[in-house]
Amino acid sequence: MYVIETDKLTKVYGDIIAVDHIDLKVKKNRIFGFLGPNGAGKTTTVLMLLGLIQPTEGRAYVNNIDVQEKPIEVKKISGYLPSENGLYPNMSALDNLLFFAKFYKIPRNEAKKIALDLLDLVGLKEVAKKKVGEFSTGMKQRLALAQALINDPEILFLDEPTSGLDPKGAVEIRQLIKDLRKEGKTIFLTSHILPEVDEVCDSIGIIVNGKLVAMGSKEELKRAFLNEKVRILVEIEESLPDLSEFATDIKLFTKNKAMIYAKADIRKELFEYLNSNGYTVLDLHLMEPTLEEIFLKMAYGEEPVLEKITEGER
């Protein structure tokens, strides 16, 4: 059961294909990280999922609702945080939230209570009546998140939620995102900050030049990456013997410590070889690929690996 699903979703602006036939699938109560370099098509995809932009081709479904047919229904169950916060600077934090609450026909008193609770959640209750124009970037971003939550949405679309924030502000926003997932919300997060996606997201989609080049859980992506290139750190008490028959490449750190590059996980074979030849193995472990490595491989590597890693997600 997918909360967000697209079928060959495409957006063309003149000669530029901003989003190119992407098939997204996001499960309920997940934090889905939509990774991609600047201008890759992340925001355009989000705007199409929210019904703010009409796709040139393809369909998008949010909670099984056809976005093109019933955009208002989608908006009722969604919250959106844009990268540029999108708040009215001449209005107070509270008035901003009360203004957006009006679109959900929430009675004034109830709306005020919800707004104050949200301001409390994002740590802005003390400055509820202060004009947004006087807020710092971090405060604006937190308020923008509160704005996205005004209708208690099932699905949150967060477009670069930590852009322009200092490290402390970014940590706070990430924690809030994790807390929202615990409340049962599905979060669609776009970012180009890899450690952030690595820390927060359960599953990831990588978009490059409008094309979805990879999608799956972090584990699936790593597994797919390991199928391509495996690194094993080996350290023994004695000097290392010739291990070239096992490796595609070897990087020697010291005479008894090296990184072995192979096409598959050969730890067992390596251990047996070293052990049977009387070497004392001090360390032998698989080096997990970082998300950065996966991203660079998927985004800029030559061979597409999408088919391999989406199996698990399906």
User: Closest separation between CB of residue 155 and another protein, Å?
Assistant: 12
Spatial distance between the Cα atoms of 271 and 249, rounded to a whole number of angstroms: 18
Q: By CB under 8 A, is residue 280 in contact with another protein? A: no
Q: How far apart are the first and last CA of the chain?
A: 10
Cα 181 to chain centroid distance, Å, stands at 13
Q: Which is nearer to another protein, 161 or 289 (CB)?
A: 161
The residue from 2, 17, 68, 86 that contacts another protein (CB under 8 A) is 86
User: Closest separation between CB of residue 82 and another protein, Å?
Assistant: 5
Q: Which is nearer to another protein, 133 or 195 (CB)?
A: 133
User: Closest separation between CB of residue 115 and another protein, Å?
Assistant: 14
Spatial distance between the Cα atoms of 314 and 311, rounded to a whole number of angstroms: 5
The site string for another protein over 64-83 (x = CB under 8 A, - otherwise) reads: --------x--xx-xxx-xx
Contact positions with another protein (CB under 8 A) in 100-119: 100, 102-104
Q: Which is nearer to another protein, 47 or 212 (CB)?
A: 47
User: Binding residues for another protein, how many (CB under 8 A)?
Assistant: 31
The residue from 3, 40, 50, 143 that contacts another protein (CB under 8 A) is 50
The site string for another protein over 125-154 (x = CB under 8 A, - otherwise) reads: -------------------x--x---x---
Contact assessment for residue 207 and residue 24, using Cβ atoms and an 8 Å cutoff = no
Q: What is the DSSP string of 81-150?
A: E-TT----TTSBHHHHHHHHHGGGT--HHHHHHHHHHHHHHTT-GGGTTSBGGGS-HHHHHHHHHHHHTT
Contact assessment for residue 161 and residue 147, using Cβ atoms and an 8 Å cutoff = no
For the chain, where are the E strands, in sequence order? 2-13, 16-22, 25-27, 31-35, 57-62, 65-66, 78-81, 155-159, 186-191, 203-208, 211-217, 230-236, 249-254, 257-262, 281-286
Q: Which is nearer to another protein, 99 or 271 (CB)?
A: 99
Q: Which is nearer to another protein, 34 or 80 (CB)?
A: 80
The residue from 69, 84, 126, 272 that contacts another protein (CB under 8 A) is 84
Residue 275, beta-bridge partner list? none
Contact positions with another protein (CB under 8 A) in 206-265: none
Cα 287 to chain centroid distance, Å, stands at 23
SS3 230: strand
Residues that bind another protein (CB under 8 A): 13, 44, 47, 50, 52-54, 72, 75-76, 78-80, 82-90, 99-100, 102-104, 144, 147, 151, 157
